[in-house]
């Protein structure tokens, strides 16, 4: 079945850029997402990219998609302490709205 993998932990200094990586196996994925989860909260949709795009920029966030390698990344520019959270990569297949999630990357921002 589908599989999504992420590195588990990333630590950066405030003001630096953060890059969170994700790989997936389902080549029929149509949409790919990045969600943020803070302690005790639900999932906040940060950004998403359609599978026919290579890049999407949204303020401090840049998403890069390499379909050939099935690799997705999220770059956060000028990382702030408020960005500390768990970031989930998720992919959607061709049918319906089922999302398959990675295990999440814990981002720690040091001041």
Residues in contact with another protein by CB under 8 A are 30-31, 33, 35, 41-45, 48, 50, 88, 90, 92, 95-104
Nearest distance from C-beta of residue 10 to another protein, angstroms? 17
Gap between the Cα atoms of 59 and 62, Å rounded? 8
Q: Which is nearer to another protein, 12 or 101 (CB)?
A: 101
Nearest distance from C-beta of residue 67 to another protein, angstroms? 16
Nearest distance from C-beta of residue 25 to another protein, angstroms? 16
Q: Which is nearer to another protein, 79 or 91 (CB)?
A: 91
Contact 78, 60 (CB under 8 A): yes
Is the C-alpha dihedral spanning 69, 12, 50, 36 positive or negative? positive
């Amino acid at each position: 079945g589908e599989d999504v993998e992420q590195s588990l932990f990333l630590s950066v200094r405030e003001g630096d850029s953060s890059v969170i990586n994700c790989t997936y196996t389902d080549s029929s994925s149509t949409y790919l997402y990045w969600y943020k989860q803070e302690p005790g909260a639900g999932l906040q949709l940060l950004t998403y990219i359609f599978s026919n795009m290579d890049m999407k920029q949204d303020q401090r966030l840049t998403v890069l998609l390499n379909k050939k390698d099935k690799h997705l990344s999220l770059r956060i520019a000028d990382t702030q302490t408020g960005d500390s959270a768990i970031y989930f990569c998720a992919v959607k297949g061709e049918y319906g709205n089922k999302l398959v999630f990675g295990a999440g990357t814990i981002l720690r921002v040091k001041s």
